[in-house]
A = this chain, B = another copy of it.
Amino acid sequence: MTLAYGVLSGGGVCARVDGVVVDLRGVDPLFDAPSLNALMAAGPEAWRQARERVDEGRELGEAGELGDTALGMPFEVADYVDFYSSLHHATNLGRMFRPDAEPLLPNWRHLPVGYHGRAGTVVPSGTAVQRPAGQHPGGMFGPTARLDIELEAGFVIGTPSVMGEPVPVERALDHVFGMVLVNDWSARDIQAWEYQPLGPFLGKSFATSVSRWVVPLDELRDRRVPGEPQDPAPLPYLAEDPWAYDVALEIELNGTVIARSNTRHLYWSIAQQIAHLTVNGASLRTGDLLATGTISGPEPEERGSLIELSWNGEEPIELPDGSTRTFLEDGDEVVLRGEPLGEVRGRISPALLAPNDRH
């Protein structure tokens, strides 16, 4: 069977078993909880036992028929970290913004670059995404004119680690409960003006969407494939045989698939991300969400963001209705998909300006 866990909109854990939703309330105290965090914190042995009790649940119907409203936010986010682990994505942005220089910055092949995002605005699939307003280059103010998506996967931490004790790369996966799909919505004009020298802030913090199902990492074991060689060889604390998950992904915009990618295009593995995140002694907490960064493949049609697909707005994307897009318009709906993760969906609603902004 293929298993995923979710949380019913009124609380209580449910499972998706081969496409059928099963209510697990009453089966085990770990399932009678407002989020997956209790189960996630219980650790790998409890996760194995939980899996064996899934058939004791009560069938609720087909997952596709129940829809998003039957489910709530699957887990409480502790810290949210977003990495930048796709070589093709980082290279594309480098070519776009630093055309006369080496596309990759000097640190990129030495460590998984990452930053902390806003945990409080991580929302479940289906939540409307309001177009953010803010400062654009030069200090002009208005709704973003460059609203973008980022096709990402995310890993959710189950077992916490101890502050001061780095997690070795070969034990990193013991801490991971499961995988989700992530849309890291981005306002490129806001981001461009604010990000020096401390990184992205309001250009990202307005919303990050995650799928409502979390797929336990054990379910993905058969999808491990060899990864591209890493050059230079990573430092010992990051060293492992290169590998990645083979999960095919697609971006659908208003019903049309505009790009296809795959998590196998990631340069840094989740184990390396965790080893890096903790090498300075920082601890992991149950509910930490570690996203991969935009997952782009080597081909033009495998780019995981609109800024790449439209090449910084210079090459509009054509849709079947005859319209074109560089960035998102109000009313647009984006769905990211990838089996067995499911989907993460969001529709753009218009900007709401504060009273002080109506000038």
Interface residues of A (CB under 8 A from B): 78-79, 82, 84, 105, 107, 110-111, 113-121, 123, 130, 132-135, 139, 141, 163-166, 168-169, 187, 190, 193-203, 205-207, 232, 235-237, 239, 275-277, 279-285, 288, 352-357, 359
Contacts and interface: CB of A to CB of B under 8 A. Distances in A.
Contacts of A123: 163
A130 B275 CA distance: 17
A115 B191 CA distance: 12
A199 B199 contact: yes
Given A190-B280, A202-B282, A280-B205, A239 B356 contact: yes
B198 A197 contact: no
Given A139-B110, A202-B280, A282-B205, A120 B196 contact: no
Contact of A116 (B113, B118, B132, B194): B118
Copies of this protein chain in the complex = 2
A356 B168 contact: yes
Contact of A352 (B164, B168, B275, B357): B164
B235 A354 contact: no
Contacts of A121: 163, 282-283
Contacts of A118: 79, 116, 282
A135 B111 contact: yes
Contacts of A352: 164-166, 281
Given A110-B135, A133-B280, 8 more contacts: A111-B135, A115-B199, A130-B164, A132-B280, A141-B237, A165-B354, A202-B280, A205-B282
Nearest to A232: B139
Contacts of A164: 130, 352
B114 A84 contact: no
B120 A283 contact: yes
- Residue of A118, A198, A353 ringed by the most chain B CB atoms within 10 A: A198
A114 B201 contact: yes
Nearest to A288: B120
12 contacts: A79-B118, A107-B135, A107-B193, A116-B201, A116-B205, A132-B280, A132-B281, A135-B235, A195-B198, A199-B200, A202-B277, A202-B280
Contacts of A141: 235-237
A239 to B, nearest CB: 7
A10 to B, nearest CB: 21
Nearest to A160: B120
B190 A195 contact: no
Contacts of A78: 119-120
A282 B134 CA distance: 11
B196 A198 contact: no
A79 B119 contact: yes
Contacts of A353: 166
A52 B237 CA distance: 55
A129 to B, nearest CB: 9
Contact of A201 (B115, B196, B232, B284): B115
Contacts of A275: 356
- Residue of A114, A117, A166 ringed by the most chain B CB atoms within 10 A: A166
